[in-house]
Structure 1
Amino acid sequence: MSEIIKNGRVQADEWTVLRLAEGDDPAAVALPAGRVIVPLAVWLARRDALHAQAEAGVLGVWLAGDEDPAVLAGDLSALALIAVDFPKFADGRGYSIATLLRTRHGYGGELRAIGDVLRDQFFFLLRCGFSVLQPREGKYSAAQLEAALASLRDFSEPYQGAVDRPEPLFRRQPRTPLHKEAA
């Protein structure tokens, strides 16, 4: 079972990410038992059949970097979990997808980063709106994940505005003039 970072701590993951093999038919692929995160293609092919599972909180959907999150706009209230796949560390499209889901589409559920999620990116993933970080299974030891958690507190006050804190620092801090103006 893989480990995730959620709610500021490392914990075991209850979800299985379904990945399609080349040639798999999204409309006919067998779903594993338990909580499962299906690719967008499976959701679109079987939305009516899967909708009840999504509303029950046992089915989520994951998006690839080249998929438009607007496709899920009508389903966001039913989906308790949406994941965004990072196929390699240099692919930054997932940051934009997360930001769009949180800001433009108002998604308030669990937003999970999956795939090639690296420790150096954790802080920035959280700033873009991800609530759960799921590195590849076996990528990090438990001690490395705990150290990564500690490093998330390296920046007490981020300067730039982002999804997690929309106001930049200069707008959050009270300012007093340096010099009194002459009367």
Structure 2
Amino acid sequence: MALISDGRFIEDDWRRLADEEALPKSGKAVVSFSRLEHALAHLPGGVSLGVNVPNTTDPAALVPALSRLGLIEIAFPAFADGRGFSLARLVRRAGFTGELRASGRLLADQYAHALGCGFDTVEIPDDLAERQDESQWRAARAAYSRTYQRGYVAAGSILDARRKAAAK
């Protein structure tokens, strides 16, 4: 899997654990949503915890754990399934400030929207990374300086810019 941050391919320092795998004593570990409650109850002190959730997850189910999570990874099973974008906005509105990662079959064309919804990183399968190299992700990140949607990464929305200009 290739991890993209700020339009560049980077190394992933999070380790995914299988459901039967023991929690590590240190480092950064990602568990499945079904294992989250157990991991929170038995988490060793030196471990940063992340969770992988389906895009159908009720955001209210994550709220009690938000302050203890360093990463929420939202699954995108297909590029045409946009439910993960909605979930990301709801998780950010609920107060999550850690890394929010889109994971799955996203395209570079969806990158600006993902950032606007609150995602920090995007993880794609290697076959997609071969077809859409780093230059395409950088270009997608730079394609829009402002958006209509009030995002979490952009410098402000088009509406905000218009209101500022009208106030002068």
Q: TM-score, normalised by structure 2?
A: 0.82
Q: 2:107 maps to what in 1? A: 118
Question: 1:86 Cα shift?
Answer: 0.6
Higher relative contact order (CA 8 A, sep 6+): 2
User: Structure 2 vs 1, CA of residues 67 and 52 (structure 1 numbering), >3 Å: closer, same or farther?
Assistant: farther
Contact 1:81-1:112 within 8 A present in 2 as well:
yes
1:17 and 1:152 mapped to 2: Cα distance?
27
State the shift of 1:165 in Å: 4.8
Q: 1:30 aligns with which of 6, 21, 24?
A: 21
Alignment of 1:81 with 2:74, yes or no, is no
Structure 1 vs Structure 2 CA RMSD: 2.7
Query: What runs of 5+ residues in structure 2 fail to find an aligned partner?
Result: none
Whether the 8 Å CA contact 2:147–2:156 is kept in 1: the answer is: no
Larger Rg: 1
Give the direction of change, closer, same or farther, for the CA distance of 1:142–1:5 in structure 2 (3 Å limit). farther
Structure 1 partner of 2:82: 92
Could you tell me which residue of structure 1 aligns to residue 4 of structure 2? 5
Distance 2:86 2:160 in 1: 24
Q: What is the identity percentage for the equivalent residue pairs of Structure 1 and Structure 2?
A: 31
- Residues 1-183 of structure 1 aligned to structure 2 (within 5 Å): 2-18=1-17, 26=19, 29-31=20-22, 35-50=28-43, 52=45, 56-57=47-48, 59-103=49-93, 105-141=94-130, 144-165=133-154, 168-173=157-162, 174-175=165-166
Contact 2:8 2:137 in 1 (8 A): no
| Larger relative strand fraction | 2
Report the count of equivalent residues: 164
CA distance in 2, matches of 1:151, 1:166: 16
TM-score, length of structure 1 as denominator length? 0.76
